[in-house]
Structure 1
Amino acid sequence: MSLGKYTRRGFLAASAATTLGLAGCATLPNNTAPQALRRFEDDAEESAVTGPEPGREPDLLLRDFYSASAIPVSDHAAARAYLAPETAEQWDPSESMLIVDRLDVTTQAGSTDEQRTFRIVGSVIGSLLEGGSYTPENSVYEASVRMELVRGEWRISSVPNGVVMERMELRNQYEPHNLYFFDTTHRVLVPDRRWLFAGEEQLDSVLLSLLLAGPAEYLRPGVDPALTPDASFAGKSEGVYRFSGVSGLDEKERNLLGAQLTWTLAEANIPAPYRFVADGAPLVASLGEVVPDDFAEYNPRSTLSAGAPLYALTDGRLFEVTSSQTKALANGLGQLDNLESAALTVAGTGAAVQRAGEESVLHITTAEGGSTDILRARTISRPTFEYDANAAWIVVDGRDVVRVVRSAASAEVTQSDVNSAQLDALGGDISMLRLSRTGVRVAMIIDGRVVLGVVSRPPNGPKEIVSVIEIARDLGGSALSVEWQPDGSLLVGTATPETPVWRVEQDGSSVFALPAANITAPVVSVAANSTTMYATDARAALQLPSGGGDNAIWREVPGLQGVRAAVIVAS
């Protein structure tokens, strides 16, 4: 596989981005055009370059170099200080940016008092691509590094191009931020997570430059970048963000672009109000200054309330859960028994899978009540709804992804296959499939592995699952249940006794186990709202505050004490 390279000089000093290939590709980048945003201020450059510690032993100095290489300031001046003069001139950090779990450093045979060679080995878990997007990887990094004494101090005389950092340095030196793009229907903003250098002083300008450059390549099929094909960010002066190339947008499109710009800045905690001027005039004609409330209908956190209705599936029946009790569900699904799974929406739409002899049966209901027997198959996965709650997705017999749409006007039901050909290479059965809140991302469990994809919606033809990638390999194929959390991360239940529940970031950059003191694997169901996580373990339905620390305790869900139930949060 041949991959693109671009020059870090300037761009990485602003946004800490590199180009690398997809997960599992061992070939490093070749060549691509440079992308410059701006340079850091001189005082920031000087403060970041501390240099090697005098008298440092060579193996320790080498580790210091790898830590320093994570700092992009002034074309990686901090890292170049550890290199011999000629090597410092030749070293090209722009070739790649690899993230490893850790680096093992061992001395190779043939070393002398004035020259040493070290073997560097690490497991590559990811890489930062152009624009700061993270992609998971699963490969091995191996390199040979030569060191020599230069005026009595050890310096690196030969080192491969590119940046290699341990995952801790990613956390220490970079921060994740969301850019926001509209889905193809222009109804909902979709987050595009980017990792930017934490020392960036003009974060707002960097974010807007990246936004105008368009979505990450993997996300592009699921969003609409067409609002800004010719637009560019011209900089900020006197508190005004200036843009050019926007004259071709109509009033509605300018309003949508204003929403993207506003929520990208607001979610990065850039203080409002904002002034957007495009081609010499206010971007939105009626708004000289804008605040997030001007685009409240697109608030990416608008549905993250803890007040969404809570339901439970226990003993094959659906119940509504209140603060202290359960009661029978009023709509048509509440009249069914032998249920295997269910999904309900805030709007009142619901779908459930019922076991009937050797078959599973899908039922759909509306807020008005009643249910319809939609289809039958050997197995049907738990339903999951699109953003507007009018269409549900299921997996039939572990292989076929099916989209079911019920017309609100006529109650007519149609179904179509979702093109999931990209999943074929992974093999195995799909035991669970969950659409994100925006409906643009999809999380799946395939033979115990956690797999992510993007939903592409071609104007003609069936929906597709594309940009497929496996994440959370730390789980070792033990995943049993998965659900999106309101902040965009994933909650994963497993069969592992030591670590039954995990949190996984949406880009796969972080995977960590949640407290497990009083939860017993297997965890067959998980759910979450903005304040609480839910899990069904081997004994009961449990809950844990979302902000709980390492010593937090899972407790039984009020109203479900003594009951083993699958908790369902309305979407």
Structure 2
Amino acid sequence: MGRARAAACAALVAGALAGCVAIPTGGPVTAGGDGEVREQDGVVVLAQGPQSDADPTGIVEGFLFAADTEVTGEFDVTRQFLAAGERTEWDPGAETIVVSATKVEQTGEAQVTVSLSVTAKVDRDGRYLEAPAEAVETLRYELVQDARGDWRISHAPDVVVVNSRRFLQQFRATSLYFLTPDSQMLVPEVRWFRNRNVPTAAVRALLAGPSPWLQDAVTTALPPGTELKPEAVSFERGGVAEMTLEPALAVQDADRGLLLAQLDASLRPLGVTTLNVRAGAGGALLKGAPDTLSVPDPGDLEILVGGQTWELVDGVPGAVEGVRTVDGAQPGSPARSADGRVRVALADPTTLVAVPSGDAEQRTLLTGSALAAPSVDRYGWVWTARASAPGRLDAVRLEGTAVEVTADWLTGRWVRAVRVSRDGTRAAIVSSGPDGVTLDVAGVVRDEGGVPLTIGPGVRAGAPLTPTASVVWVDDVTLGVLSGGDAGPTPYLVPVSGSSTPLPAVADAIELAVERGTRTLYVVTAAGDLLRYEGGTWVAVPGVTGVLEVTGAAFPG
């Protein structure tokens, strides 16, 4: 076994199994080894420390492998590859780079360069950003020889490199729950934490508050400056979690129902069944049940057929009572509020109208070239955008009030699609600009009456994709988009914080609609067909496809 391979040798613990494994375990290694042993499912991989005769490449290769297979979060074995002074300076918590392939090569007498095929990055606070397609990054490691002549790393970048598959074994996606400004709903933000005392990591992050892109759109019942003392959540068998929050007086004066609702929603998916929160050391438990905060049932799917609004009730199509036909050259892109009081559509690509219903006649709400499909938020505002007015979105109400909603990052960009989340705090925006077509999610900043004022900083989602002009919220933390491809438009599930997942392509798909979850996901084709995602494939909706020519479909939102 060569010196470089010896540095990456690992004990594979699964019964009596043992052997050596080179990095990466998935993808080619073009330097530092001449073979590869693949892990078996369920095998625990334990890295060894540096070998005395390892050359610079072998030391860096062993360092990367030790960090990649870390399970405790202490990185004790990994630090053995570092020179004495660097062992305390290296900060493995600063950033995690998720990779699909790694190339290690010596580029100087005491320098090793590592080339990475990057799929994502996770920062110190657990924020996950998916990388663009074919993203690459280079890391450089400097080495020295110690008094015994053994090579050690004198400078290592403050990152941990993790194989894509192993990342999912070591990290856990965790939703932190904040509040809408009116305290009526919970708003999740997903972070990724190492699989060790995740409840403690979640509470600490919850106390620190939402990310910058979301902070102006939500609020929290946890008082400013609240700390976890002692700095850990006690988690016992049976799902009992206990914590103490300081300062006691501020915690006691907080809205207990809302505070407990945030903690309960954030910790219950982690296995917490009983939550005991004390205000101050030795203080009394916060009594009271968490407030119940939820999004109302959105109702049935509605489709537009020749300008007439139909609904699918238990899969059976029928005209919506009291709603009349949209008058226009090309009616499509319907949208409505959850209570059905606000119904809009595009009469043609340049005209947004209120759908005639009851005693109300059809009214034009907005005109402009290439209008984006409308989205209705829970405050009754109708969102769209005009190609003739780049750099902004338009929000209007049925009575005619209109506001322009801007964001610095939208300057010079044309908004092609917009969809506001069910809680009204976030907007998913497809826009095009000098860097191409992107999908971003941003916080919606409103006044006390719910009037949208501005859009906060955008966070990129689905970076490897080229989205088209259709986006929906599949659930509170996942988007559905169409992306171009060789097989035709491909629907993707795109987490706001996570990796995108393709669904089967649909040759002429033009629009998505969803209630909640993939079981309620639909696609409309250019031919007017309506398909539902079922059993891992797209199936025609009985009584619609081949009978009705659908020009648009939507659930509330």
Task: State the SS of the aligned residue for 2:100.
Answer: coil
Find the counterpart in structure 2 of residue 420 from structure 1.
Answer: 407
1:140-160 deviation line (CA, Å, top 9, x unaligned):
522233568999998653442
Match of 1:218, SS state, is: coil
Counterparts of 1:250 and 1:157 in 2: how far apart (Å)?
50
Q: Is the 8 A contact 1:322 1:559 kept in 2?
A: no
Q: 1:260 aligns with which of 246, 262, 267?
A: 262
Instruction: Indicate yes or no: 2:288 matched with 1:281.
Output: no
1:340 and 2:332 matched: yes
Aligned length: 487
Matches within 5 A, 1:252-401: 253-271=255-273, 273-279=274-280, 280-284=283-287, 287=288, 290=289, 294-296=290-292, 298-299=293-294, 302-303=295-296, 308-332=299-323, 334=325, 336=327, 338-355=330-347, 359-363=350-354, 371-388=362-379, 390-397=380-387, 399=390, 400-401=392-393
Pairs within 5 Å for 1:510-549: 510-516=499-505, 519-530=506-517, 531-539=519-527, 540-545=529-534, 548=535
State the AA in 1 paired with 2:310. F
TM-score by length of 2: 0.76
Q: C-alpha displacement at 1:484, in angstroms?
A: 0.9
Work out which of the residue numbers 466, 479, 486 in structure 2 matches 1:497.
486
CA drift at 1:362? 2.4
In the TM superposition, what is the alpha-carbon distance from 1:189 to its structure 2 partner? 0.9
From 94, 97, 103, the counterpart of 1:96: 94
Identity of aligned residues (%): 20
Cα 1:494–1:209 change in 2 (3 A) is closer
Question: What is the aligned partner in structure 2 of residue 186 from structure 1?
Answer: 183
Higher strand share: 2
CA distance in 1, matches of 2:378, 2:537: 33
Cα distance in structure 2, aligned partners of 1:353 and 1:89: 62
Change (3 A) 1:146 1:373: closer
Match of 2:26 in 1: none
- Report the 3-state secondary structure (helix = DSSP H, G, I; strand = E; otherwise coil) of the residue aligned with 2:213: coil
Alpha-carbon spacing, 1:492–1:151, altered in 2? closer, same or farther (3 Å): farther
Alpha-carbon shift at residue 568 of structure 1 (Å): 1.4
Residues 243/431 of structure 1: CA separation in 2 closer, same or farther (3 Å cut): same
* C-alpha spacing 1:342/1:333, structure 2 compared with 1 (3 Å): farther
1:437 Cα shift? 1.5
Structure 2 residue identity aligned to 1:245 = P
Answer yes or no: is 1:486 the counterpart of 2:483.
no
Alignment correspondent of 1:196: 193
CA–CA distance in structure 2, aligned partners of residues 381 and 109 of structure 1: 51
Q: Distance in 2 between matches of 1:154 and 1:532?
A: 60
Amino acid at match of 1:420: A
Q: Residues of 2 paired with 1:368 and 1:254: CA distance?
A: 45
Question: What is aligned with 2:157?
Answer: 161
Paired position in structure 2 for 1:105? 103
Displacement after TM superposition at 1:258 (Å): 1.6
Code of the aligned partner of 2:553: V
Deviation at 1:197, TM superposition (A): 0.5
- Using the TM superposition, give the Cα deviation of residue 371 of structure 1 relative to its aligned residue in structure 2, in angstroms: 4.7
Partner deviation per Cα, 1:418-463 (whole Å, 9 max, x = no partner) = 1233311xx3321110011211111111133212211122559951
1:33 corresponding residue in structure 2: none
Contact 1:228 1:246 in 2 (8 A): no
Picking from 518, 524, 545, the partner of 1:561 is: 545
- Which ranges of structure 2 fall in alignment gaps of 5 or more residues? 1-43
Distance, in Å, in 2 between the alignment partners of 1:314 and 1:150 is 77
Q: Alignment partner of 2:48: what SS?
A: coil
Give the distance between the partners of 1:451 and 1:383, measured in 2 at CA.
17
Classify the secondary structure of the residue corresponding to 2:84.
helix
Maintained 8 Å contact 1:497/1:520: no
Q: 1:48 to 1:210 in 2, by over 3 A?
A: farther
Q: Is the 8 A contact 2:122 2:129 kept in 1?
A: yes
TM-score with structure 1 setting the length: 0.74
User: Matches of 1:334 and 1:417 in 2, distance apart?
Assistant: 29
Residues 1:134 and 2:132 aligned together: no
Q: What is the CA deviation profile of residues 179-231 of structure 1, one whole-angstrom value per residue up to 9, with x for unaligned ones?
A: 11112121111112111101x1x333332222122222222111114641132
* Partners of 2:338 and 2:378 within 8 A in 1: no
1:429 is aligned to 2:429: no
CA contact (8 A) 2:513 2:521 kept: yes
1:47-93 alpha-carbon deviations (Å, 9 max, x no partner):
99642487989767744532432537354213223x15536525512
CA contact (8 A) 2:97 2:160 kept: yes
Alpha-carbon separation, structure 2, partners of 1:229 and 1:557 = 51
Deviation at 1:246, TM superposition (A): 5.0
Where is the helix percentage greater, Structure 1 or Structure 2? Answer: 1
Report matched runs for 1:222-237 at 5 Å: 222-225=217-220, 227-235=222-230, 236=233
CA RMSD for the aligned pairs? Answer: 3.6
Change (3 A) 1:150 1:168: farther
